[in-house]
Amino acid sequence: MHRILLIETSTSLCSVAIAADGKVIASRESREERAHAAMTAPFIKEVLAECAMDAKDLDAVCVSSGPGSYTGLRVGSSSAKGLCFGSGLPLIAIRTPEILADMAVTEGLLPKGCTRIVPMIDARRMEVYCAPFSFSGDPSDSPVLAGEISPLVVDADCFGPILSDGPVLFIGDGAAKCSGVITSENAHFAQVNPHAAGMARLAERALCEKRFEDTAYFEPFYLKEFVATVSRKKLF
């Protein structure tokens, strides 16, 4: 049995979970403002205690790697690296847009016939970090990154080409604020935060494939200073 500790702190939601063979067996989360530094370590202790486990009983630690909140990512990565160093565990890192795209499938958020997903991570004002994903339509598959993770100032025209081809799901904590700007009937919105339980399937696959980070040199994808330009890249 594979047992993985999951840590997701890239947005305003702080969450920790333990998954066994890809299924969540314990979880904790908090939406308290600026609580990541105070809550992450206690949550880790609580889920381990709930499962009657010590860190040495784990097979890996998985952390969200951003982009997202600088403070949140720093807390999550520091906690994960400390556990890995202290217990000799491998480190798995998953980009936040990938977590959101997979949650769209595993949590049944995709509209019928929708095979394109754009995770949106809130930055400020009408600014988001986003990335395009394609989905095969098979729920056993995870969506596949179909472009770059990049900053974007959202306006009415920036997703015009892909919206003209069919339904698109915009998902993440930056999705709702864009719903008043992106008005196409093909645009669907799911205002959700990435959470640790949503990492379980991706983390299990990464463990089986031994896709580990170099713990000593790992750094998350911090949210950089935003340059207020509109991307004109073709997303799909």
pLDDT in tens, 19-53: 999 999 999 999 998 889 999 999 999 999 999 99
Mean per-residue pLDDT of the chain = 93
> Residue 24: what are its φ and ψ, rounded to 5°?
-75, 130
Same fold, 3-95+194-208 and 96-190: yes
Q: What superfamily does domain 3-95+194-208 belong to in CATH? A: ATPase, nucleotide binding domain (3.30.420.40)
Q: Residues 143-179: pLDDT tens digits? A: 999 999 988 999 988 898 889 999 999 999 999 899 9
Sequence ranges of the domains in the chain: 3-95+194-208, 96-190
Beta bridge partners of 20: 3, 23
Q: At what angle do helices 96-106 and 200-208 cross, to 10 degrees?
A: 110
* pLDDT band at 224; cut points 50, 70, 90: low
Q: Which of 175, 169, 159, 177 is nearest to 117 (CA)?
A: 169
The fold of the 96-190 domain, in CATH, is: Nucleotidyltransferase; domain 5 (3.30.420)
Sheet with strand 23-30: strands edge to edge? 23-30, 14-20, 3-8, 60-64, 91-94
